[in-house]
Structure 1
Amino acid sequence: MASRTPDVDVIIDIIPALSHDQLLELRTEYKRHCKVQGRGINVAKHIKLKTTGNFGKIAYVTALGRYESEGYWANYWYQSNSARRELLIEALMGRQNFEMREIKDAFRDKRYSDSLVRCMDKELKADKFRKAILMALEGERQEESDAWPTEYRNRDVDTLYKALKAREGGESAMLGVVVMRSDAHLREVLRTYERKYEGNFARDALRKSNNLVGELVAHILNGVINRPARDAMLLHHALMDLIEPPTPDHPHSSKTATAASSSSATKHERQQRFELLISRLVRLHWDRMHLGRVKREYEEKYGRVVEEDVEEATKGDFREFCMMLCQTGR
């Protein structure tokens, strides 16, 4: 990338194929050998300086590595005036404690002294959603190896039932269970809830909290129930939104200003859909075994092949990079 125009083929061949650890090794060596104004430069930062558009963004985010990229998405939505809170939810929720520690350690934003907790505390408005994000950032979720006694499970089942039946509130108690318990524990809670109360808690929770809290709870519980199916659904949504974008409500406005405003909004919405695809595809590619399961689930559920839909939804160098991320063999 020392030349004025970077060789995108080299970026496409190398960056998507590396594991997280290999990428960290590359970053160390790159900084040692590549100087800008006499100082070593981070390969991710160099990619950002030299490339543009969706290709530039996906190459940059991948070069950040498995954990720094999640911190990027966690605070990206407010920097870009994005209404896509999915970027934040998917980056942080349902994480194991070691992952949360890595994400917090890798976070970089000088305005918040490189503290993701401080960033979220300042940028999110004071509500239950912020409370859930900050709770998750504590990194004190029940470990998957911690098997709690049956009475703990039964208490959580009753807590969730009471939270759903409460006329007002109940969301804080619900979040205390869903955000802070392990996947294995939550699976037992959901099964017991279904036996005892003859209901589907995940569905009932979304009905009660048809808001950001509901979305957050649904994301965690869908992952608990079947993570490959959840991630296949998220990938499918992102791709279909690009292949078959929603039509504007008023495509034939008579006012030029309104039409221009509508066009600008549509362009912004389309860019947000690309960002969802980038975040989901990059996240999946770090775990090739999980990606393989997601691809099989995708084909079984939707009767389509991921690579074919990626090819249809994207173009140019961006498409080539996306296709490389889809490879499950190293």
Structure 2
Amino acid sequence: MSYYNQQPGGYPPQQGYPPAPPAQGYGQPQYPPSNSPYPPQQQGYNQPPPMNQQYPPQGYGPPPGQYPQQPPPGQYGQPPPPNAYGAPPAGQYGQPQYPPQQNYGSPAPPQQYPPAQQYPPQGQYGQAPPPQPYGQPAYGAPPPGQFGAPPIQQGFPSPGYGQQTAPIDVTQQVEALNKSFRGFGTDEKTLIKTIAKQDPIQMNTIREQYNQRLMSDVLKRIESETSGNFKTGLLTVFRGPLMGDCWALYEAMKGIGTKEAVLDDVLIGRSNADINAIKAEYQRLFKQSLESDLRGDLSAGTEQLFVMVVAARRNEETVPVIPQQVEADVTELQRATGSMISKDSAQTCQILTSRSDAQLRAITHAYAQRYHKSLESVVKSKFSGHMEKALLLLLARANNRAASDAVQLEETMAGLGTRDTLLIQRVVRAHWNPQHMAQVRAEFQKTYKKDLVKRIKGETSGDYERLLVALVE
């Protein structure tokens, strides 16, 4: 999960990494990155391809120079001119600008790690870019009537959803963890300090190396040495983004009842590549398909909605935003939500779950321009329960992911009591991308006039508090 410059298509040769010990004992399989011949999926329409990964893909990936060059500056990615295509006033429905992305992950020991990598704002943890112009894109518009056609380019999984580990030396971290478990009690401060600033691939590598070198499962060690919310937080971090998402889904559906908010958090608005990685890992871990478990726990329209989501057939962010097709979608959405009696829930879900974030932003703007009301208000008036919440989250994440995450964090702490499991999962997901976490904190301050760290301190205590604060800061 991630946040994180040569042209795409080629990976730098492996160098500077100390050899990793041979795989043995416990450990999860390594997931290589997608072999797709296309550049990675982005969170904005026709954004430049992502920057190089820090970790070599260990033999996977196409040869250098296979992908097309970046389009020249100015062809797309600039804010539309005032009132272009009926665009609303600045700030009404648009996406705020954020500062350039910073290095992801904690500083590496100079003799052990390569330079900190730069990740693009992609995947679940990426920040949606500003609304894009509706003119002709550099790749060209598809023929009329083919809006929603197969994507031009297929994205790679987010960091932590494709390649799982890297041949880097994490001896220092493994020894620190082993020392923290020795003797009477647990050194909680060392545990927190060791894991709080690791990126997804570093965290997975630390877990695997601990298991192999010490012939012990670190997750089982945490289970036996810690307790309560602190244990839950440690397990969520140590599992990494992909395994953590799968366990969250499994625990949300096991037993009586379903924790719908967890299903929404993990699956709504995800890239095709991430959804496919989650489905494969879920099958490996629990020996059953994610879709079958969703069908068993959900029903009626909500079941249909999530079956569409896990089908992983969203348009990629590289698919052009075509004004005529946006208008066609707006017309169809108005027809499908025409009345409570005759509304076409399946068609509404099909449109909203199959469009890219850039297309959803354009649809949202065009709908408000034509009908003088927001698409969100229509969803609220025509739907209810879990389906309403899922569709609203889909629109919110497409329009401003950081603001949406800030609202979700406050929801876990508002009112009497704290929804600790949701708070832990949401903090950990955001923390995998430090730049995104900084944007979430800024949106939280802007919306609630409170500092997120102080808000968390007011709702938590002890080692549990210290862990969450370290992840946020």
TM-score, structure 2 normalization: 0.59
The one of 389, 392, 396 equivalent to 1:218 is: 392
Relative to structure 1, is the Cα distance of residues 146 and 49 closer, same or farther in structure 2, using a 3 angstrom cutoff? farther
Q: 1:65, CA displacement in angstroms?
A: 0.6
The answer to whether residue 449 in structure 2 is matched with residue 303 in structure 1 is yes
Q: Which moved more, 1:312-321 or 1:227-236?
A: 227-236
Q: Which moved more, 1:98-107 or 1:276-285?
A: 98-107
Q: How many residue pairs end up in the alignment?
A: 292
What pairs up with 1:313-324 in 2 under 5 angstroms?
A: 313-324=459-470
Q: Quick check: 2:253–2:259 contact (8 Å CA) kept in 1?
A: no
The CA distance in 1 between the partners of 2:195 and 2:327, in whole Å, is 47
Q: Percent identity?
A: 22
Q: Which moved more, 1:148-157 or 1:195-204?
A: 148-157
The CA distance in 1 between the partners of 2:292 and 2:183, in whole Å, is 39
Q: Is the partner of 1:5 in helix, strand or coil?
A: coil
Q: Quick check: 1:75–1:120 contact (8 Å CA) kept in 2?
A: no
What pairs up with 1:67-216 in 2 under 5 angstroms?
A: 67-79=242-254, 81=256, 84-107=259-282, 112-122=286-296, 124-166=297-339, 167-216=341-390
Q: How far does the alpha carbon of each residue in 1:78-112 deviate from its partner, in whole angstroms, 9 at most, with x for none?
A: 326465411111111100112212222332676x5
Q: Quick check: 1:45–1:60 contact (8 Å CA) kept in 2?
A: no
The CA distance in 1 between the partners of 2:255 and 2:406, in whole Å, is 26
The CA distance in 2 between the partners of 1:16 and 1:98, in whole Å, is 26
Q: Which moved more, 1:5-14 or 1:205-214?
A: 5-14
Q: Quick check: 2:196–2:470 contact (8 Å CA) kept in 1?
A: yes
Q: 1:280, CA displacement in angstroms?
A: 1.0
Aligned to 1:7: 187
Letter in 1 for 2:208: T
Aligned to 1:28: 208
The CA distance in 1 between the partners of 2:253 and 2:299, in whole Å, is 15
The one of 413, 427, 430 equivalent to 1:284 is: 430
Aligned to 1:48: 223
The CA distance in 2 between the partners of 1:317 and 1:8, in whole Å, is 7
Q: 1:325, CA displacement in angstroms?
A: 0.7
The CA distance in 2 between the partners of 1:2 and 1:133, in whole Å, is 45
Bigger fraction of residues in helix = 1
The CA distance in 2 between the partners of 1:207 and 1:320, in whole Å, is 41
Q: Which has the higher contact order (CA 8 A, sep 6+)?
A: 2
The CA distance in 1 between the partners of 2:395 and 2:249, in whole Å, is 20
Relative to structure 1, is the Cα distance of residues 292 and 60 closer, same or farther in structure 2, using a 3 angstrom cutoff? same
Q: How far does the alpha carbon of each residue in 1:178-203 deviate from its partner, in whole angstroms, 9 at most, with x for none?
A: 11110000111111111222221111
The CA distance in 1 between the partners of 2:385 and 2:412, in whole Å, is 20
Q: 1:274, CA displacement in angstroms?
A: 0.8
Relative to structure 1, is the Cα distance of residues 45 and 206 closer, same or farther in structure 2, using a 3 angstrom cutoff? farther
For structure 1, the residue ranges without an aligned partner over 5 or more in a row are 246-269
The CA distance in 2 between the partners of 1:117 and 1:4, in whole Å, is 44
Q: Quick check: 1:75–1:88 contact (8 Å CA) kept in 2?
A: no
Q: Quick check: 1:190–1:201 contact (8 Å CA) kept in 2?
A: yes
Alpha-carbon RMSD? 1.9
Aligned to 1:58: 233
Q: Quick check: 2:321–2:358 contact (8 Å CA) kept in 1?
A: no
Relative to structure 1, is the Cα distance of residues 82 and 23 closer, same or farther in structure 2, using a 3 angstrom cutoff? farther
Q: 1:32, CA displacement in angstroms?
A: 0.9
Q: Which moved more, 1:292-301 or 1:124-133?
A: 124-133
Q: 1:118, CA displacement in angstroms?
A: 2.7
Q: Is the partner of 1:27 in helix, strand or coil?
A: helix
For structure 2, the residue ranges without an aligned partner over 5 or more in a row are 1-180
The CA distance in 1 between the partners of 2:390 and 2:227, in whole Å, is 32
Q: 1:15, CA displacement in angstroms?
A: 1.8
Q: 1:137, CA displacement in angstroms?
A: 1.1
Q: How far does the alpha carbon of each residue in 1:147-182 deviate from its partner, in whole angstroms, 9 at most, with x for none?
A: 153332222111110111042341111110111110
Letter in 1 for 2:394: I
Q: 1:34, CA displacement in angstroms?
A: 2.0
Q: Is the partner of 1:105 in helix, strand or coil?
A: helix
Relative to structure 1, is the Cα distance of residues 117 and 237 closer, same or farther in structure 2, using a 3 angstrom cutoff? same
Q: Which moved more, 1:24-33 or 1:148-157?
A: 148-157
Q: Is the partner of 1:107 in helix, strand or coil?
A: helix
Relative to structure 1, is the Cα distance of residues 159 and 6 closer, same or farther in structure 2, using a 3 angstrom cutoff? same
Q: Which moved more, 1:7-16 or 1:176-185?
A: 7-16
Q: Quick check: 1:44–1:61 contact (8 Å CA) kept in 2?
A: no
Relative to structure 1, is the Cα distance of residues 161 and 176 closer, same or farther in structure 2, using a 3 angstrom cutoff? same
